[in-house]
Structure 1
Amino acid sequence: MRNYWLLLKQDRVACVALVYLLVLVVIAIIGPAFVDPSLNRMQLTARHAAPFHLNRSWVYFLGADALGRPMIVRLVLAARTTIMIAAAAVLMAMVTGTFIGLIAGLRENLLSAALMRGIDVLLSIPSLLLAMVVLFVLGAHIGNVILILTITRLAVFARTVRGESLELRERWFVAAARTMGAGDIHVLRRHIVPLVMPTVLAIAALEFAVIMLAESALSFLGIGVQPPDATWGLLVAEGQPYLKTAWWVSLWPGLAIASMAVSATIVGNWFRIANDPTLRVRLTPREVTA
């Protein structure tokens, strides 16, 4: 952890991005607890209140939506749902895809071939089309959105982990462990999983941005999360009819989506570099040992 901290200090952009992500996560977790429920109700007298007017309450500093609800409140409430969906989908895709990749990469047998052919079929189907069909049939609930985002992204983890496992299983230390009588579970737990996890975590950070953008696209198309729940993508969709008269309704959630996606991508790229010995030299200070 000390080495990671020293490496992070060498990349100020990644450091700022990580702090920004942590601030957003904290706001998403504890922010709704401090929001007065009355502020999320219709207040037609404040309909499309313009932002940056000091003659109104501070909660209207970013303006109001078509029902008079403050955009600050809407952004805070939507942040929890957006981040929760993206985090849950990333975690489920990471666990499922890593498990499939490890099983398929440990030995070349019928099960391994069947698993990878299934992954190939999944990759051949356009993810947006698959999401639209499944959500139309099952309904646009939060659980179904998480499920379909997990299914569409687990293939990335599975193929990456399988490729890493195929290479690691040929290393001399794995051969030595098998010579000493180690079984598949021991080899996976002690020799392959610890070396694969840094790559998996780097992919997870990058996939967080991809999944969040995918969820926003589904909500914008009207097949994602439905009211009364709210996500940043749904807020963008709600403001789309008023872009000429009330641009702020779509602008603020759009900026939140873009900034968080960029920050997650920067952090994921930094984590990838920090765990790659051939690239780490670009970040390594003198205090960090190789």
Structure 2
Amino acid sequence: MRFYWKMLRSDWIALLAMGFLLAMVLVALVGPLLIEPSMLRLNLRARHLPPFQLDQNWMYFLGADALGASIIARMVVAASTTLAIAFATVLLSLVIGTAIGLVTALRDNWLSAAVMRAIDVLLSIPSLLLAMVILYALGAHPINVIAVLTITRIPIFARTARSEALEIRERGFVAAARVMGSNDMHVIVKHIVPLVMPTLLAIAALEFAVVMLAESTLTFLGIGVQPPDVTWGLMVAEGQPYLASAWWVSLWPGLAIASIALCATIIGNWFRIANDPTLRSRLKAEVTSHA
């Protein structure tokens, strides 16, 4: 852990990205508790109030929307919903997809083959199109959004975990563990998961950005999260008719989505480099030279 911290400190871009992500998580956790109901109250007198008006209440520093609600207050509340959907989707798809990939890699039978063919079918269907069809049938509830996006991301983790496990199971230490009487569960938990998890976590960081963009796209198209719930994607969609006259309504939540997606991508790429033996040796040399 200490070495990872040293590597992170040596890469100031990744360090800034990590700091920004942690700040946004803190805002999502604590922010809604600090937002009073009055801050979200509609105020038609402040309708489309421009940003950076120093003579106004600080809650209107980023402007107001079409109903006079504070952009800052709505973005803080929306942060919890947006990040919760992305985190829950990535966590569920990581756990379920990894379990499927590892089990099917260790058991070569007809059931494993059937499961992987089903995974191939899911991979062949455009994920956004599949999500649109299912949400149109089930309704645009946050739980449905999480479920649908999880289904579309499971094949990524399942395929990756299976390919990694197929290579690891042929190594000598796995054969030795089986000779000593270890069952499949023991082999998976003790020998395969520790080697597979770094790759899967790097993919999870990248998928976090993908899920955020997918959720925003679905909401922008009108089949994602709908009022009274609010997400950054919904705020962008609500401001779309006023881009010419009130650009700030869509700009700030759009920047938030882009910033989170960019930071998650940077962290995912850094984590991949940190866990690659070849690239890690270069990082070790850089960290040592800076020490």
Q: TM bucket by the smaller chain?
A: over 0.9
Matched, 1:223 2:214: no
Which letter maps to 2:223?
Answer: I
Percent identical across equivalent pairs? 66
Match of 1:28 in 2: 28
Matched, 1:67 2:67: yes
2-side partners of 1:83 and 1:143: how far apart?
13
1-side partners of 2:119 and 2:235: how far apart?
34
1:38-90 deviation digits (Å, cap 9, x = unpaired) = 12121000000000111101111100000001110011010000000000000
1:255-275 deviation digits (Å, cap 9, x = unpaired) = 000000000000011111111
Match of 2:12 in 1: 12
Unaligned runs of 5+ in 1: none
2-side partners of 1:189 and 1:117: how far apart?
25
1-side partners of 2:201 and 2:228: how far apart?
33
Which letter maps to 2:96?
Answer: T
Q: How does 1:1-290 map to 2 (within 5 A)?
A: 1-284=1-284, 285-286=287-288
Taking structure 2 as the reference length, what is the TM-score of the superposition?
0.97
1-side partners of 2:283 and 2:236: how far apart?
38
Which letter maps to 2:192?
Answer: I
2-side partners of 1:85 and 1:101: how far apart?
24
How far apart are residue 286 of structure 1 and its match? 2.0
Unaligned runs of 5+ in 2: none
Q: How many pairs were matched up?
A: 288
2-side partners of 1:120 and 1:34: how far apart?
46
2-side partners of 1:20 and 1:126: how far apart?
31
Q: Over aligned residues, Cα RMSD in angstroms?
A: 1.1
Contact kept, 8 Å, 1:20 with 1:263, in 2: the verdict is yes
2-side partners of 1:66 and 1:139: how far apart?
25
How far apart are residue 287 of structure 1 and its match? 8.4
1-side partners of 2:16 and 2:281: how far apart?
21
Q: Give the direction of change, closer, same or farther, for the CA distance of 1:74–1:121 in structure 2 (3 Å limit).
A: same
